[in-house]
Amino acid sequence: MKPFAVKPLSGLQGEVFLPGDKSIAHRAVMCGALSFGKTRIDNFPANQDCLATVAAFKKLGIRIIKTGNSVTVFGKGLHGLRMPRGPVFLGESGTTCRLILGVLAGQDFQTVLTAGRSLKQRPMLRVTKPLRLMGAVIKARHKDREEYLPVAIQGGDLRGITYRMPVASAQVKSAILLAGLYSSGTTSVTEPLLTRDHTERMLRLFKAGIKSEQNTISVTGQRQLAAPGPINVPGDISSAAFFLVAATVVSGSRVLIKNVTLNPTRSGVINVLKRMGADIKLRRKKGFAFEPSGDILVKSSGLKGTVVKSKEIPGLIDELPVLMVAACFANGRTVFDGVGELRVKETDRVRSMAQNLKKMGADIKVAGGRGSERIIVSPNAGLRGAKVRSFGDHRTAMSMIVAGLAASKGSVIDDVDCINKSFPDFLKSLEALKAPRG
């Protein structure tokens, strides 16, 4: 464990260059492995989660070379993977786990997936159920009508299905679409709410037979993927969110965040902050290969309360913890509706954030029952320094660092090693912007 002391600041100034978007990088490695040809992925984020995806596909027989900030994947086509020797360890990467289940559903061999302690507690039935409907044979650890890792999956002849998802989840959607690459006929997925569309964009880039119409996405099976050449991954908007909020709530701040994905299905955090009164300006790049991107300029400003509706949650699920921090500095009540999915992340983020922010003096309540939970943050006299916990969760840790920057006194976070899961250089990037209060 690595504790970290946070001192309040008088301003953040400068530019931030972010690592490549984690969600995009995972999918680029996977599609590269399943295509014919060489795919070079530039601005590849060397975090624990993305490296877990690289390690998993190496174990499945794919040659992958990392050079500096680039990763080169030598694809072998849809049927080029080989049976691994022993279980495939996925670390704590939920994206790797759920998406690779879709890939393995189409293989003619059995694979056992295992993971770290936190990922073993995350629910998998939402993925295994539709994959079984497609013809995969899956055995998992059962507890209280749910399924968990370790999972043994035997793929084979898959059939296309039409599936209406009960939960809005980009990971579940992606797993089904990846399995659909191997199926006979067409596989269609209908979402209850639109989720991030990186898988659809990546599959189009690799020439898959994919179509989207409103909330339904369809993929035609048995069609080989073609390597598109170099892919430049734009910066991660989920990582940008911590700097967006920090620069907004720390007075005297002006921060330019360079080359960030501005995908409309990921811009929820920007929309909410602007609605709250944040001074944010977008500089969109003209023309893009597969993902819109650009720069974001953010300056400190006063905030007002808002209501974040449940239909918005899928588009900002990873940014909710730091938005809860922003709400603590707003003039007026802020309500986050339909936040139940936060319960099943690396930790229970509803609990971790509520407990920590209450220690810092926030007026925060959790109301409603299962399926309709909401978080209510009421106006208070800002936040005061305190000893808080990361709960081993990277987004909780970074959110509490942001809270500490704008608090009235210093804070201590018990462990920040977990930040390496998604953003190893977060503290270094933050240090470059800091100007301690004099």
111, 83 contact by CB (below 8 A):
yes
CB 33 within 8 A of CB 57: yes
The residues that bridge with 295 in the sheet, in sequence order, are 283
**Pairwise CA distance, residues 207 & 35, whole Å:** 10
Instruction: Round to whole Å and give the CA distance between 174 and 77.
Output: 18
Query: β-strand 158-159 against 279-284: which pairing, if any?
Result: unpaired
Cα separation of 255 and 25, whole Å?
25
Instruction: Give the separation between CA 321 and CA 397, rounded to whole angstroms.
Output: 10
- pLDDT score for 437: 47
Beta pairing, strands 374-378 & 363-367? antiparallel
Q: CATH topology of 4-20+234-436 equal to that of 22-223?
A: yes
Cβ pair 313, 341 in contact under 8 A: yes
Each of the 438 residues of the chain gets a pLDDT tens digit; together they read: 889 999 998 899 999 999 999 999 999 999 999 999 999 999 999 999 999 999 999 999 999 999 999 999 999 999 999 999 999 999 999 999 999 999 999 999 999 999 999 999 999 999 999 999 999 999 999 999 999 999 999 998 999 999 999 989 999 999 999 999 999 999 999 999 999 999 999 999 999 999 999 899 999 999 999 999 999 999 999 999 999 999 999 999 999 999 999 999 999 999 999 999 999 999 998 766 689 999 999 999 999 999 999 999 988 989 999 999 999 999 999 999 989 888 878 789 999 999 999 999 999 999 987 667 999 999 887 899 999 999 999 999 999 999 999 999 999 999 999 999 999 999 999 999 985 444
Exposed (0-12), middle (13-18) or buried (19+): which is 416, by Cβ within 10 Å? Answer: buried
417 carries an active-site annotation: no
CB 75 within 8 A of CB 38: yes
For the entire predicted model, the pTM comes to 0.91
- What's the pLDDT score for residue 438? 42
> What residues does each domain of the chain span?
4-20+234-436, 22-223
- Give the Cα separation of 119 and 134 in Å (integer): 24
By DSSP bridging, strand 254-261 and strand 9-17 are: parallel
Number of residues written out for the chain: 438
Copy the structure tokens of residue 181.
Answer: 């690459």
Given this model, what pLDDT does residue 382 score? 86
User: Domain 22-223 is of which CATH architecture?
Assistant: Alpha-beta prism (3.65)
Rg (CA), the chain: 21
* pLDDT value for 288: 63
Residue in this structure with the two tokens 């913890």, named with its chain if needed: 321
Rounded CA-CA distance 396/354 in Å is 10
CATH hierarchy code of domain 4-20+234-436:
3.65.10.10
* DSSP-assigned beta bridge partners for residue 5: 412
Which residues 6+ apart lie within 8 Å of 119 measured at CB?
90, 91, 92, 93, 94, 97, 149, 346
Spell 365-393 as b/e; 16+ CB within 10 A means b: eeeeeeeebbbbbbbbeebbbbebbbbbb
Identified catalytic residue from 49, 197, 318, 393: 318
Where does residue 79 rank: exposed (0-12), middle (13-18), buried (19+ CB within 10 A)? exposed
